[in-house]
Amino acid sequence: MNVEVERKFVCDPDIQKKLKDIGAVCIGQRRFQDQYFDSPDFDLTLKDFWLRCREGCWELKCPVPKKTAAIQKDSQAEGLCSRYREITSLPEIKAELTRVMADEKRERDRGVAECDTLDDWLKEMSLGCFAKYTTERCSFSLEEEGEEGAVGVDLDQADFGYCVGEIEILVPDGGDIQAALRRIEKTADKLGLCGDKRVQGKMDVYLQRHSPDHYTKLLAAHIL
């Protein structure tokens, strides 16, 4: 299981040129639709769990605790980056969600175990789609001498008129997250990204516009 460490950034019009200048290579462009699921009381997202179906592929992003505040102060990247464990196998997603929603769903456990189809299972868990949008993504890869693996940079344009960039590294289970944070910070410097404020993701902007109540609850819970 990988941990995705990622920093979002505001794309300026020169970003593609800057990426090429630092040696990043465009590895493709694609369009995909995402659907995110939660219960009516937002039991998952208020715990920072994000269940998504992207073009038929399921993924659950689970929060990974950050280091202590004292260590965070030493690193700007620690504050600007997010990190989530990504689960993509359906049986593992179901097991994790059953655990996360145990309090809410204990009385239904028997019914959940008996579900044949994914739709039945979602219904039994009271999970419905709360956000749906399409992204046009241009992906870049940056390999550097002396570094293992590549840094990924995605330039996303969502169909509701929001653009955002992401620098990301996939860290294998038990890998060095601090090293990934340092490398992301170095890449951000090379791209001349400045600013110490968290940049809004597609979901922030989508919920702000389409589900202000949900958005307010996530802000109050310090999830967004």
Which neighbouring-strand residues pair with 34? 54, 133
Verify binding: residue 169, ligand V4E, rule CB under 6 A.
Answer: no
Verify binding: residue 83, ligand V4E, rule CB under 6 A.
Answer: no
Options 84, 121, 162, 215; binder of ligand V4E; rule CB under 6 A: 84
As given in the structure block, the two tokens for residue 109 are: 């456990």
- Alpha carbon distance 192, 165 (integer Å): 13
Residue number, 121 or 130, with CB nearest to ligand V4E: 130
Residue showing tokens 């995605």: 154
Residue number, 8 or 105, with CB nearest to ligand V4E: 8
CB of 45 to ligand V4E, least distance (A): 8
Verify binding: residue 139, ligand V4E, rule CB under 6 A.
Answer: no
CB of 8 to ligand V4E, least distance (A): 5
Q: What is the largest CA-CA distance in the chain?
A: 57
Verify binding: residue 203, ligand V4E, rule CB under 6 A.
Answer: yes
Question: Are the beta carbons of 31 and 134 closer than 8 angstroms?
Answer: yes
Verify binding: residue 223, ligand V4E, rule CB under 6 A.
Answer: yes
Residue showing tokens 């039991």: 43
Residue number, 121 or 135, with CB nearest to ligand V4E: 135
Backbone Cα Rg of the chain: 18
> In sequence order, which residues have a C-beta less than 8 Å from that of residue 104 and are 6 or more positions away?
39, 41, 43, 126
Verify binding: residue 50, ligand V4E, rule CB under 6 A.
Answer: yes
Question: Are the beta carbons of 28 and 50 closer than 8 angstroms?
Answer: no
Residue number, 61 or 214, with CB nearest to ligand V4E: 61
Verify binding: residue 127, ligand V4E, rule CB under 6 A.
Answer: no
Sites of contact with ligand V4E (CB under 6 A): 6, 8, 50, 61, 82, 84, 135, 166, 201-203, 223-224
